[in-house]
Amino acid sequence: GAVVSQHPSRVICKSGTSVKIECRSLDFQATTMFWYRQFPKKSLMLMATSNEGSKATYEQGVEKDKFLINHASLTLSTLTVTSAHPEDSSFYICSARDPSGAYNEQFFGPGTRLTVL
Amino acid sequence: EDKVVQSPLSLVVHEGDTVTLNCSYEVTNFRSLLWYKQEKKAPTFLFMLTSSGIEKKSGRLSSILDKKELFSILNITATQTGDSAIYLCAVEGNTDKLIFGTGTRLQVFP
């Protein structure tokens, strides 16, 4: 199946700093990528839909100024957590849809665990 | 509001047992239902179901969808310790978005 990578896999930062997470589709072009957040023992919560060349669409309750999304190319989307606080600590997962795939399903990256001290 | 509910939330079985995981949904303009397995990292794709009554099968795992009752089940036969994971059900409606259920945490003991 298609491969989606995320970098970094784990990051620890101080409160108040900004953290950038990259999501790449390695062997296909993705016009749409999705960013999820997952708390321990909870399901995935969609944060936003990232559209190449246009603004991201945020889900209700997600602060767009806090979680900046940039989909600069057909293979790269970035999520920047600005002025991070301990409550932003979570597992962040991106996914990308492969339009040429057999099922047009979303492929997930391996996730980034963010810990804000 | 679109909603996906999974049950049970947690399941503990012994190797060799058969388990059935449930997923019910309410979604506008249903397009597909997907099952994922999540171990330590991101979910991995298991099945996509779009039509009622057609069983999808992969090894010891199988799944079926009932679009009339808005329901899907995931069966795992002859469970192994390697099946221990969280199983996530997600539904796609008239947007590209996936709506995930809470997941079922399966633990298989030897």
pLDDT tens-digit map of B83-109: 999 999 999 887 778 899 999 999 999
pLDDT digits (tens, 9 = 90+) for B18-66: 999 999 999 988 989 999 999 887 888 899 999 888 899 999 999 999 9
8 Å CB contact of A111 and B41 = yes
pLDDT at B40: 80
Q: Rounded to an integer, what distance in angstroms lies between the CA atom of residue A82 and that of residue A66? A: 5
Taking the CA of residue A115 and the nearest CA in chain B, the distance in Å comes to 16
**In this predicted structure, what is the pLDDT of residue A98?**
78
Query: How far apart are the C-alpha atoms of B7 and B75, rounded to whole Å?
Result: 13
Residue of chain B whose Cα is closest to the Cα of A102: B48
- Return the residue of B nearest to A43 by Cα: B102
Q: CA–CA separation, B33 vs B45, rounded Å?
A: 11
Instruction: Give B34's contacts in chain A (Cβ within 8 Å).
Output: 105
Rounded Cα–Cα distance for residues B4 and B68 (Å): 15
Residue B101: closest C-alpha in chain A:
A43
Nearest alpha carbon to residue A71 among A51, A98, A57 = A51
User: What's residue B25's pLDDT?
Assistant: 96
* A82 pLDDT higher than 80: yes
Identify whether the C-beta of residue A93 lies closer than 8 Å to the C-beta of residue B42. Answer: yes
| Chain A CB contacts of B44 below 8 Å | 108
Instruction: Find residues 36-95 of chain B whose CB sits inside 8 Å of chain A.
Output: 36, 41-45, 48, 88
Check CB contact under 8 Å for A46 and B42.
Answer: no
**Is the separation of the CB atoms in A115 and A100 below 8 Å?**
no
Write the CB contacts of A66 (distance below 8 Å, at least 6 apart in sequence). Answer: A81, A82, A83, A88
Q: What is the CB neighbour count within 10 angstroms for residue B23?
A: 27
The residue type of B4 is: V
SS3 category, A36: strand
A→B contacts (Cβ < 8 Å), by residue, are 1, 32, 34, 41-46, 49, 93, 95, 97, 103, 105-111
Nearest chain A alpha carbon to B39: A110
Pairing outcome for strands A32-38 and A10-13: unpaired
Express as a percent the part of chain A with pLDDT over 70: 96
CA-atom Rg of chain A in angstroms: 14
Q: Give the phi and the psi of residue A4 in degrees, each rounded to 5.
A: -125, 130
Identify which has the larger pLDDT, B11 or B93: B11
